């Protein structure tokens, strides 16, 4: 567990810092506040879960110290519904570390036995409040996993919590091929939204070229806006418009990463041509 440490944020909340990546999980407003703003409220999760019959499927990309997943489950505890949570990460060490430090990471209190079982068995089922939970975790390299036949067997998501380390530190998780593979795994008849903390032009172009509709996401702490994508425009409250498209054309950092190597560059002519053809920017 020497690869992680507890840090106290400016607002008094505690979080986990990865020494290997030199990055702090949820560094601005803390784990719970960020998860509530970015995922629970922005996705109108409680409203969507309450209206849904059967399993409401959530993909948790970047399990980390389980803040996003646990915050979603706590928010929906009073709903008599079923949630199927599918978590992904390349290591379970952050969660193991977090469970040793619940005096600081108190969002985990009450979920320790479930998370301990998840660590041991990689899948668990339990009832908390009025909700029924089925939770599985896949420990693998996510970009590679999406290209394997196994990925086609995963339950199709209604929501994706996307929380990878930054593109500069973890470029493999932000490439255009990754998001294109992710989009292809979605069920076109099942509306699915994917918010993330970044607001970069590069990311937004990447998501658009992967097939998603893309919009301005909710503010989180010091960030005035984030990004939300979906396989249907109906889940996007504030879609990117033609004004944004022109700003993207002038940006010096808009071309997607086609390979897992971080770099910044303006749009290439063929990328600009493809971007203009996206249905989101079609004349009404």
The reported pLDDT for the residue numbered 222 is 65
Cα 28 to its chain centre, rounded Å, is 16
Gap between the Cα atoms of 49 and 56, Å rounded: 6
Identify which of 115, 133, 112, 163 has the alpha carbon closest to the alpha carbon of residue 57: 133
Identify the residue with better confidence: 27 or 277: 277
Q: What is the pLDDT of residues 131-182, one digit of tens each?
A: 999 999 999 999 999 999 999 999 999 999 999 989 999 999 999 999 999 9
The reported pLDDT for the residue numbered 215 is 97
Q: Are strands 55-61 and 159-162 parallel, antiparallel or unpaired?
A: parallel
The reported pLDDT for the residue numbered 22 is 87
The reported pLDDT for the residue numbered 11 is 85
181 Cβ neighbours under 8 A, 6+ residues apart: 143, 146, 147, 151
The reported pLDDT for the residue numbered 219 is 74
Output DSSP code: residue 162: E
- Both tokens of 123, joined, read 């899948």
Q: What is the pLDDT of residues 213-256, one digit of tens each?
A: 999 988 776 667 899 999 999 999 999 999 999 999 999 999 99
Q: Could you tell me the domains of the chain?
A: 26-278 (3.40.50.150)
Q: What is the pLDDT of residues 79-127, one digit of tens each?
A: 999 999 999 999 999 999 999 999 999 999 999 999 999 999 999 999 9
Q: What count of other Cβ atoms lies within 10 Å of the Cβ of residue 180?
A: 17
Q: What is the pLDDT of residues 36-92, one digit of tens each?
A: 999 999 999 999 999 999 999 999 999 999 999 999 999 999 999 999 999 999 999
In the block, tokens 């054309």 appear at 249
Query: Which stretch of DSSP H or E encloses residue 83?
Result: strand 82-89
pTM comes to 0.95
In the block, tokens 């010096």 appear at 252
Q: What count of other Cβ atoms lies within 10 Å of the Cβ of residue 51?
A: 10
pLDDT at 208 over 60: yes
The reported pLDDT for the residue numbered 221 is 66
């Amino acid at each position: 567990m020497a690869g992680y440490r507890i840090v106290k944020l400016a607002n008094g909340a505690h979080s986990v810092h990865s020494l290997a990546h030199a990055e702090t999980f949820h560094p601005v407003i803390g784990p719970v506040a960020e998860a509530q703003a970015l995922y629970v409220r922005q996705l109108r999760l409680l409203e969507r879960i309450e209206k849904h019959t059967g399993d409401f499927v959530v993909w948790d990309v970047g399990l980390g110290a389980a803040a996003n997943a646990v915050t979603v489950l706590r928010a929906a505890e009073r709903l008599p519904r079923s949630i199927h949570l599918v978590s992904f990460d390349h290591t379970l060490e952050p969660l193991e570390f977090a469970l040793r430090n619940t005096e600081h990471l108190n969002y985990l209190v009450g979920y320790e036995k479930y998370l301990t079982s998840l660590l041991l068995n990689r899948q668990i089922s339990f009832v908390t409040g009025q909700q029924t939970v089925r939770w599985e975790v896949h420990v693998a390299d996510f970009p590679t996993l999406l290209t394997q036949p196994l990925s086609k067997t995963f339950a199709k998501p209604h929501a994706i919590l996307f929380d990878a380390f930054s593109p500069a530190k973890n470029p493999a998780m932000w490439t255009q091929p990754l998001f294109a593979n992710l989009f292809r795994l979605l069920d076109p008849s099942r509306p699915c939204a994917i918010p993330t903390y970044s607001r970069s032009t590069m990311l937004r172009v990447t998501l658009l070229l992967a097939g998603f509709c893309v919009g301005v996401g909710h503010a989180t702490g010091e960030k005035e806006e984030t990004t939300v994508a979906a396989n249907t425009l109906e889940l996007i409250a504030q879609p990117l418009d033609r004004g944004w498209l022109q700003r993207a054309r002038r940006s010096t950092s808009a071309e997607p990463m086609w390979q897992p190597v971080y770099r910044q560059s303006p749009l290439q002519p063929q990328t600009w041509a493809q971007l203009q053809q996206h249905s989101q920017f079609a004349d009404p």
